[in-house]
Structure 1
Amino acid sequence: MQTIRRCLRFSTKSRIQVGFFLSAMSSQVQKPIDFVKAPSRGPTPPPAGQTAESGFTLHYVSGDLFSCPEVESLAHCISEDCRMGAGIAVMFRKTFKRVDDLKKQAKKPGQCAVLKSNQRFIYYLVTKKKAYQKPTYSHLEESLEDMKAHCVSNGVTRISMPRIGCGLDRLKWDKVSGILEKVFENTNISITVYSLPEKEHTKVMKEFIRR
């Protein structure tokens, strides 16, 4: 009889201990973890001062520069002394005149003088000090930067020009065109480059020289 009572006491004590153990375990159960989804990132914005997409275009035309639409601005290279006594600069001087107005602007190599003609601007890229000197690529690039700033400020989006610096000034067009693309790549400015059509007798002479 005593043995049965001991067994019953042991059984009751065990049940109590098991109950306490289960209660303790349930109080320590952690709440489910809430996983927060990181916000998705959109496309990386362009650097300050740049547009996401460029609207710049560079076109080539064979023909007379002065036959371009009158809504397009014009650009060419000059010296600081504003001589404009040779090459296409002569045509600019005769067509738009106002040389004294250009001189009053007192632009230096690496800058750009500007005249207003009706509804368009005429840009004079100052690439050297004296007319008999040769320009540098750095002065050309600086003058183009100056012209670009004026274009952006005045809403100019179309410019026609000759192969600037590559006539009597003897710069290389592959380098000049690279500078144009570098300067205007983040603008919506369209540049049309005019070249005079090659005369037939010039083609014959070149063919004769190759032979």
Structure 2
Amino acid sequence: MVNFESPQVMPEHECEPNDTKPESFLHLFLLAYRSSVHETTGQTPASIVMGRELRLPCDLKFGYTPGDDVAGEDYVSTLRQRMDNIHERVRSNIQGASDRMKETYDINANDGRYQPGNQVWLYNPQRRRGLSPKLQSSWEGPYEVVTRINDVVYRIQKLPRGRPRVVHFNRLAPFAGNNDEQAEARVRHVSPPDSELSFEEFMLLHSNGQKARYGVTREEPRDLFQAPADFCLAHCVAADLRMSRGIALTFKKAFGQLEELRRQRPEVGRVLQITAAEQEKERSVFYLVTKQLSHHKPTYQTVWDTLVELRDVLLSQSISSLAIPKIASGLDGLDWRVIRSMLEVLFRFTGIEVLVCCYNPRRSLNEKTVDCFFYQTSRCKNGSFCRYRHGPEDDTIRDEMYLRRGAVLRSPPSRAACG
């Protein structure tokens, strides 16, 4: 943390050309920091705190795009919804950054498979005064593995006759001795993560609900057909192309071109396409064939194969933006958490952005459908700003819970007392 002395407030204070005092540039530093996008959150500190970007000097010089004139309660609700969306994206970006950090750590981490008698280095940084830390060694050894206590803890002893120590395997590294050819051959080669993860390996990792977040997908409560023009659309269909229910029926009415789709010989695992030129519209539409007949159900295997095919098609056509519904999770009945993890794993190294539109026209965007746990236990401090539902308008249920806990209810003031 940088500590500056508080500068004296002077009228019309300006930085002199040769002024080297740190406090003279503090306001410029804070302006740059608050208006810069953070690598982890993906947002600027100003937008996270205030719900809008700062007005920079260039905006005063060249002007800026005016926003909608909103006043009163509409302004409050609009600002609240905008900040909720910003905070939701921040949480998603932080989760993605955490997953990437964990993956990088797992790649570089030692596997810890040492056996008694193996020689290892021990990470034990010690700083001596008078010497630069860059010139001091953080590893010492060689040590010999005496006992393997469990998968991650070892008892080691410094050669030739040192005292035994119990350490975690993260502090150990293989001791190769001199740099001869045999020692170099024993050096572990760390390869980049394999983008071609097999379906069996994926299901082994993520079939239990474990999420994979690499910043590929972004969920928004918006209409799929109102997505930006540079986003292509995609959804799941059967090989018979009936499209008689759900969002498939909406696609059929909006885009048609069934004869063109049949000419592409639909089969399970293939991706059909209607280009923008064929439908005389701004974007292409992709049809993911995940099952043979409309009354059948797809499997995770067929969805995986179809997404692999979709990824190859998008890369071959240099398409970087894709908008989809929650595919294979509505009438098809698959778990959306697993499907989203598939998208994250398969598209993580492609640079393709996947926008997931989960808008329900029968439900208001501001309607809250999940009950607040803390409100039910009378401990929610967010009030009307809470993201979750606070039950009925009257406080009968909450008052009964107060009485059960032995709390004293405060009766509302009478009208006479209110004047």
Deviation of the 1:119 alpha carbon = 4.3
2:298 maps to 135
1:185 maps to 348
Mapped pair 1:94 → 2:230: no
After superposition, the CA RMSD in angstroms is 3.2
Deviation of the 1:63 alpha carbon = 1.6
Q: How does 1:113-124 map to 2 (within 5 A)?
A: 113-117=272-276, 118-124=281-287
- Shift in CA distance, 66/79, structure 1 to aligned 2, threshold 3 Å: same
- Shift in CA distance, 100/66, structure 1 to aligned 2, threshold 3 Å: same
Mapped pair 1:83 → 2:242: yes
Structure with the larger RCO, 1 or 2 (CA within 8 Å, 6+ apart): 1
Q: How does 1:99-114 map to 2 (within 5 A)?
A: 99-114=258-273
Deviation of the 1:112 alpha carbon = 0.8
- In the alignment, the residues of structure 1 paired with residue 332 and residue 262 of structure 2 have an alpha-carbon distance, to the nearest angstrom, of 21
Q: How does 1:10-89 map to 2 (within 5 A)?
A: 46=192, 57-89=216-248
Give ranges in structure 1 of 5+ residues lacking alignment. 1-42
Contact 1:110 1:138 in 2 (8 A): no
Report the TM-score, using the length of structure 1 for normalisation: 0.69
Letter in 1 for 2:231: E
**Aligned-partner SS, 2:303:** helix
How many equivalent pairs are there? 169
If each structure's strand is expressed as a fraction of its own residues, which one has the higher value? Answer: 1
Mapped pair 1:195 → 2:338: no
1:21 maps to none
- In the alignment, the residues of structure 2 paired with residue 194 and residue 137 of structure 1 have an alpha-carbon distance, to the nearest angstrom, of 21
If each structure's helix is expressed as a fraction of its own residues, which one has the higher value? Answer: 1
Mapped pair 1:169 → 2:328: no
1:33-75 superposed Cα distances (whole Å, 9 cap, x missing partner): xxxxxxxxxx96747989xxxx862100102110001210001
Report the TM-score, using the length of structure 2 for normalisation: 0.36
- In the alignment, the residues of structure 1 paired with residue 314 and residue 261 of structure 2 have an alpha-carbon distance, to the nearest angstrom, of 18
Bigger Rg, structure 1 or 2: 1
Deviation of the 1:87 alpha carbon = 0.2
Provide runs of 4+ in structure 1 moved above 3 Å.
Answer: 43-50, 200-204
- In the alignment, the residues of structure 2 paired with residue 48 and residue 203 of structure 1 have an alpha-carbon distance, to the nearest angstrom, of 39
1:102-140 superposed Cα distances (whole Å, 9 cap, x missing partner): 111112111111110244221100000000000111111
- Shift in CA distance, 203/122, structure 1 to aligned 2, threshold 3 Å: same
Letter in 2 for 1:79: A
- Which of 288, 300, 308 lines up with 1:145 in the alignment? 308
